[in-house]
Homo-oligomer: A and B are copies of this chain.
Amino acid sequence: MNTRSSGAVIPSVRQRILDAALEEFYTAGFHAATMRTIAKRAGCSAANVYNHFENKDELLVEILRSASDEQFTATRTALRRAGSAPAEQWTAAVVAHSLYTARNQQACLVANTELRYLDEVDRKRVVGSRDAQEHLFVTIAEAGVAGGDFDVPHVHQAVTAVLTMCAGIALWYRPDGPLSAQAVADSYGVYALNLVGYRPA
């Protein structure tokens, strides 16, 4: 028996609209989605959607910002629990980042494909949190290179390569497939540690 279900929180109208918008952006694409199709999916009126969000750009910004913030928080939490050696920090960060991606495929895919439809100001509101994540990875990789644990041609480029590789999980991962999200994340931790030229002592 799942004791949580009896105490399950009913999502607010605002959250239902956000969930519906994500589904709509994911299946139809940002261009084809309208406030009306999002309202229909959320089971409310278009007027109700407009009460909460000015337009679909605002919905996309809100979805991408909160996904990016959640992923950042998951990564930082994992870092606090990991050992201080660069290899441990690096693996913990990649595993947490990958795990979030596998468990939140729709938001991660929409972030990769639809972000370019936002105007400059809105895009900046979204990419701030993404840049902060990248900075976190760069800091760890730089410590690894400085201490002689890692060996890469270019630190920033290697971080970009790893983050793109992890983002790709959203493209192919199937929750009903043979591998759990955790198993995939753990493998990506291995690939990423290999990628930076880590040699166990």
Seen from chain A, the residues whose Cβ lies within 8 Å of a Cβ on chain B are: 29, 31-32, 112-113, 116-117, 152-154, 157-158, 160-162, 164-165, 167-168, 171-172, 184, 186-188, 190-191, 194-197
Contacts and interface: CB of A to CB of B under 8 A. Distances in A.
Contact of A191 (B29, B117, B152, B188): B152
Contact of A165 (B31, B165, B186): B165
State the number of copies, please. Answer: 2
Main secondary structure of the interface of A (DSSP, over half): helix
A153 B187 contact: yes
A191 B31 contact: no
Contacts of A113: 112-113, 116
Contact of A157 (B152, B184, B194, B195): B184
